[in-house]
Chain A
Amino acid sequence: MSSEGSLPAYYEIPPGGAIPEPGSSLKYKTGSWRVLRPVINQDKCVRCRLCWVYCPDAAILELDEEYVTSKGRRYKITYKVNYDYCKGCGVCARECPVNAIEMVPEPIGGEE
Chain B
Amino acid sequence: MYVYDEHDRQIAKERVAQFRDQTERALAGELAEEEFLPLRLQNGLYVQRLAPMLRICVPYGMLRAEQLRRLARITRDYDKGYAHVTTRTNIQLNWPRIEDVPDILAELAEVEMHANQTSGNCIRNTTTDQFSGVQKDEIADPRPYCELIRQWSTFHPEFAFLPRKFKIAMNASENTDRAAIQVHDIGLQMLRNDQGELGFRVHAGGGLGRTPMVGPVIREFLPELDLLTYLEAIVRVYNRYGRRDNKFKARIKILVKALSPATFSEMVEAEWAHIKDSPTRLTHDEIRRIQGYFTEPAYEALSDVTDALSQQRFEHKEFDRWLTHNVHEHKKPGYAIVTLTLKRTGTPPGDVTDRQLEQIADLADEYSFGEARATHEQNVVLADVRQDRLFELWQSITPMGFATANLNTLTDMICCPGGDYCALANAKSIPVADAIQRRFDDLDYLYDLGPIDLNISGCMNACGHHHVGHIGVLGVDKKGAEFYQVSLGGSSQNDANIGKILGPSFAQDDMPDVIAKIIDVFVEKRTEEETFLDTYRRVGLDPFKERVYA
Q: Do A and B come from one complex?
A: no
By a beta-carbon cutoff of 8 Å, the part of chain A in contact with chain B is none
By a beta-carbon cutoff of 8 Å, the part of chain B in contact with chain A is none
